[in-house]
Chain A
Amino acid sequence: DAKTTQPNSMESNEEEPVHLPCNHSTISGTDYIHWYRQLPSQGPEYVIHGLTSNVNNRMASLAIAEDRKSSTLILHRATLRDAAVYYCILNFAGSARQLTFGSGTQLTVLP
Chain B
Amino acid sequence: DTEVTQTPKHLVMGMTNKKSLKCEQHMGHRAMYWYKQKAKKPPELMFVYSYEKLSINESVPSRFSPECPNSSLLNLHLHALQPEDSALYLCASSQSLDGNTEAFFGQGTRLTVV
Q: Which residues of A contact B (CB under 8 A)?
A: 30-32, 34, 36, 42-46, 49, 51, 85, 87, 91-104
Beta-carbon contact of A96 and B103 below 8 Å = no
**Chain A's nearest CB lies how many Å from the CB of B49?**
9
Q: Which residues of B contact A (CB under 8 A)?
A: 4, 31, 33, 35, 42-45, 48, 50, 55-56, 90, 92, 94, 97-100, 102-108
Secondary structure at the B interface, as helix, strand, loop or mixed, is: strand
Q: For residue B97, which residues in chain A have a CB less than 8 angstroms away from its CB?
A: 94-96, 98
**Chain A residue at minimal CB-CB distance from B106:** A43
Q: For residue A103, which residues in chain B have a CB less than 8 angstroms away from its CB?
A: 42
**Chain A's nearest CB lies how many Å from the CB of B7?**
14
**Chain B's nearest CB lies how many Å from the CB of A39?**
11
**Chain B's nearest CB lies how many Å from the CB of A84?**
13
